[in-house]
């Protein structure tokens, strides 16, 4: 064993090892076991569940392991739980979708687990290299997943677009990281932070902030780096879109927070200005573009761009409360966003693709429960109580007010009001239009029912009684190094 490593380091990455083992087992099973769909689904879910148990075994720890490469802290655990939960729900809603589309399940689940593995390293990485490898692991898996509908030209186009733009953005990110390394002589976040403290801000450092910010901006789909999102969201298999918009976004935010809050507190003024601007244009452009979409997946793509804008408020605030409110929001976002995509997935039937707004016509009349669930998700995305989205937004805006970011938050609430328009348009199609519904009836299988049930429960319960999430997010945020506590209202 090389110097500095110990068996303890393997102990601390037990969850990741379990996940890797499960993923490899899946590959093996997919070529050996006949009649495999149920088995593969079972193995995938068991792997995720075991990993979740392993993650929770480290709850409460705040350790730096593997020679400073990885953090085992509450912040990492929170994002690992988010990644695993969203993977589990994605897998549950994928099962019937794969059947309808006639896709092979083995590689698909393998890639989902690989992406999840990447997300977990993005959450706990304390070194630019670890973070970058985590990001790359996730991104590569997604390039393949987005193009998984091989005969479908839209899916192919989406995959190529995502790959090209993704590679380009990773290049930019890497360039920024190399500048940071050049300026400080280290890739460790703690080392960078120490090297920069007390140092004069130089043009190189500002450039590094801009490049790293732009690279992360691509990943979270912040305007003006969002161009890929609508096409990719529309072309990708719907469950993959769901996973992309929740898991990938959450992990990218984790990485963004790690780099900027832990690594670059000395440049806080610069990156806060950068993200202030990004937040404003992201939510505004996202919401305005969503207003006119007629394709549901495209609309949700723009809506998720807007949500990235809201989340950036938390980064701009940068205090413990700001980060905690982001975590709350991401937790809430997981349920509502996966719920919506679950329903869009269920809309895909043998005779209809079902991702146009007009395909929702008469949904409530035909399947009242699905219609009600969709109503809850839409209200939640719009931030209207008593749904979880309201609690998330309320606390995010609260953190901004606490930090004195009044104009930012005014722009955000006005955006939030605009967004209600297009979310309600969906409701109009489902509940109010009297036309005959298109396509064959919607069948919700058992796995889809579980996925939708969990999403709906999360959306409603966290809207009425969010205490547990608030508490968890607060304790997770407080473990992020370099975080400042709240700033009093002026």
Partner 1 sequence: MSNNANFPLLTLIMFTPLAGAVLLLFVNKNSTNAIRWIANGFAGLGFLVSLPLWFWLDMATPDWQFVERHEWIPSIGAEYLVGVDGFSSLLILLATLMGLIAILSSWTAITTRVKEYYIFLLVLQTGMIGAFVSLDFLLFFLFWEVMLVPMYFLIGIWGSANRLYSAIKFFLFTLVGSVVMLLGILAVYFYHHEVTGIYSFDITRFHQLNMPFDLQWWVFLAFFLGFAVKVPMFPFHTWLPDAHTDAPTAGSVILAAVLLKMGTYGFIRFSLPILPEATRAAVPWVVTLCIIGIVYGALVAMAQRDWKRLVAYSSVSHMGMVMLGMFALNAVGITGSIVQQINHGISTGGLFLLVGVVYERRHTREISEYGGLSKVMPAYAAIFLVMTMSSIGLPALNGFIGEILILQGIFVVNKIWAAFAATGIVLGAAYMLWLYQRTMFGTVDNPKNENLPDLNLREWATFIPLLILAVWIGLYPKPFIDRLDSSVVRVMMRVNSADVSLNAGAPGAGVQSPVVSSDLLTLDGDTGDVIELPVRGGAR
- Give the footprint of partner 1 on this chain (CB under 8 A): 379, 383-386, 390, 394-395, 397-398, 401-402, 406, 409-410, 413-414, 416-417, 420-421, 424, 428, 431-432, 465-467, 470-471, 474, 488-489
CB of 210 or CB of 401, closer to partner 1: 401
C-beta of 432: minimal distance to partner 1 in Å?
Answer: 5
Give the DSSP H/E element, type plus range, for residue 152: none
Largest interatomic CA distance in the chain: 71
Sign of torsion over alpha carbons 8, 78, 374, 230: negative
CB of 295 or CB of 486, closer to partner 1: 486
Structural tokens at position 156: 């192919």
C-beta of 268: minimal distance to partner 1 in Å?
Answer: 21
Alpha-carbon torsion, ordered 254, 57, 59, 126, to 10 deg: -40
CB of 355 or CB of 402, closer to partner 1: 402
Report how far residue 332's alpha carbon sits from residue 89's, in angstroms, rounded to the nearest whole number: 14
CB of 82 or CB of 375, closer to partner 1: 375
CB of 110 or CB of 390, closer to partner 1: 390
The set of residues, in sequence order, having a beta carbon less than 8 Å from that of 335 and lying 6+ positions away, is 380, 388, 454, 455, 456, 457, 458, 459, 462
C-beta of 406: minimal distance to partner 1 in Å?
Answer: 8
CB of 175 or CB of 431, closer to partner 1: 431
CB of 202 or CB of 292, closer to partner 1: 292
C-beta of 310: minimal distance to partner 1 in Å?
Answer: 12
| Secondary structure (DSSP) of 274-295 | HHHHHHHHHHHHHHHHHHT--B
C-beta of 220: minimal distance to partner 1 in Å?
Answer: 24
C-beta of 487: minimal distance to partner 1 in Å?
Answer: 10
CB of 204 or CB of 417, closer to partner 1: 417
Report how far residue 60's alpha carbon sits from residue 480's, in angstroms, rounded to the nearest whole number: 13
First-last CA distance in the chain: 55
C-beta of 63: minimal distance to partner 1 in Å?
Answer: 25
Structural tokens at position 408: 């930012």
Residue 175 C-alpha from the chain's centroid:
24
C-beta of 420: minimal distance to partner 1 in Å?
Answer: 5
Helix, strand or coil for residue 64? strand
Report how far residue 171's alpha carbon sits from residue 350's, in angstroms, rounded to the nearest whole number: 41
Do the beta carbons of residue 378 and residue 426 sit within 8 Å? yes
Vertex 130, ends 125 and 134: CA angle to 5°? 90
Do the beta carbons of residue 100 and residue 348 sit within 8 Å? yes
As to burial, measured by CB atoms within 10 angstroms (0-12 exposed, 13-18 middle, 19+ buried), residue 431 is: middle
Residue with tokens 């939708």: 452
CB of 57 or CB of 59, closer to partner 1: 59
C-beta of 294: minimal distance to partner 1 in Å?
Answer: 17
CB of 57 or CB of 432, closer to partner 1: 432
C-beta of 417: minimal distance to partner 1 in Å?
Answer: 4
C-beta of 475: minimal distance to partner 1 in Å?
Answer: 10
CB of 133 or CB of 394, closer to partner 1: 394
Report how far residue 149's alpha carbon sits from residue 173's, in angstroms, rounded to the nearest whole number: 29
CB of 186 or CB of 474, closer to partner 1: 474
From the CA atom positions of the chain, what is the Rg in Å?
A: 21
Please tell me the total number of residues recorded for the chain in this structure. 490
Alpha-carbon torsion, ordered 189, 191, 194, 195, to 10 deg: -110
Residue 444's nearest CA partner among 375, 353, 345 is 345
C-beta of 332: minimal distance to partner 1 in Å?
Answer: 13
Structural tokens at position 195: 């090297």
Residue with tokens 């966290």: 462
């Amino acid at each position: 064993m090389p110097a500095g490593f110990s068996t303890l380091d393997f102990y601390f990455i037990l969850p990741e090892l379990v996940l890797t083992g499960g993923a490899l087992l899946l590959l093996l099973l997919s070529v050996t076991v006949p009649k495999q769909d149920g088995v593969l689904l079972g193995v995938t879910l068991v792997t995720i569940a075991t990993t979740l148990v392993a993650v929770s075994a480290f709850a409460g720890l705040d350790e730096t392991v593997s020679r400073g490469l990885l953090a085992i802290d509450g912040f990492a655990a929170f994002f690992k739980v988010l990644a695993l939960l969203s993977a589990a729900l994605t897998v549950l809603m994928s099962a019937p979708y794969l059947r309808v589309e006639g896709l092979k399940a083995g590689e698909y689940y393998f890639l989902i687990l690989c992406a999840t593995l990447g997300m977990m390293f993005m959450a706990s990485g304390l070194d630019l290299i670890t973070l970058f490898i985590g990001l790359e692991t996730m991104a590569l898996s997604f390039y393949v997943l987005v193009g998984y509908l091989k005969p479908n030209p839209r899916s192919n186009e989406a995959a190529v677009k995502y790959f090209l733009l993704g590679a380009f953005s990773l290049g930019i990110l890497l360039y920024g990281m190399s500048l940071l390394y050049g300026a400080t002589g280290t890739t460790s976040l703690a080392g960078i932070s120490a090297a920069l403290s007390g140092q004069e801000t130089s043009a190189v450092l500002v450039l590094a902030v801009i490049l790293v910010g732009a690279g992360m901006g691509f990943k979270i789909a912040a305007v003006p780096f969002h161009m890929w999102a609508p096409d990719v969201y529309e072309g990708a298999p719907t469950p993959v879109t769901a996973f992309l918009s929740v898991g990938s976004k959450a992990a990218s935010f984790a990485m963004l927070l790690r780099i900027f809050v832990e690594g670059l507190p000395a440049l806080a003024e610069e990156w806060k200005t950068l993200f202030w601007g990004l937040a404003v244009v992201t939510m505004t452009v996202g919401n305005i573009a969503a207003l006119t979409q007629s394709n549901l997946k495209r609309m949700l793509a723009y809506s998720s761009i807007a949500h990235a804008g809201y989340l950036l408020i938390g980064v701009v605030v940068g205090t413990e409360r700001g980060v905690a409110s982001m975590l709350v929001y991401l937790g809430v976002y997981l349920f509502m966003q996966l719920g919506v995509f679950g329903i869009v997935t269920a809309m895909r039937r043998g005779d209809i693709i079902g991702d146009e707004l007009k395909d929702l016509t008469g949904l409530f009349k035909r399947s009242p429960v699905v219609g009600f669930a969709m109503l809850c998700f839409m209200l939640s995305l719009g931030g209207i109580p008593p749904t979880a989205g309201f609690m998330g937004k309320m606390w995010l805006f609260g953190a901004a007010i606490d930090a004195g970011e009044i104009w930012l938050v005014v722009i955000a609430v006005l955006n939030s009001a605009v967004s209600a328009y297009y979310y309600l348009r969906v409701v109009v199609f489902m509940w109010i239009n009297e036309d005959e519904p298109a396509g064959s009836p919607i069948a919700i299988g058992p796995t889809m029912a579980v996925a939708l049930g969990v999403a709906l429960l999360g959306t409603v319960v966290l809207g009425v009684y969010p205490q547990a999430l608030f508490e968890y997010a607060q304790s997770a945020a407080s473990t992020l190094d370099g975080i400042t506590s709240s700033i009093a209202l002026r």
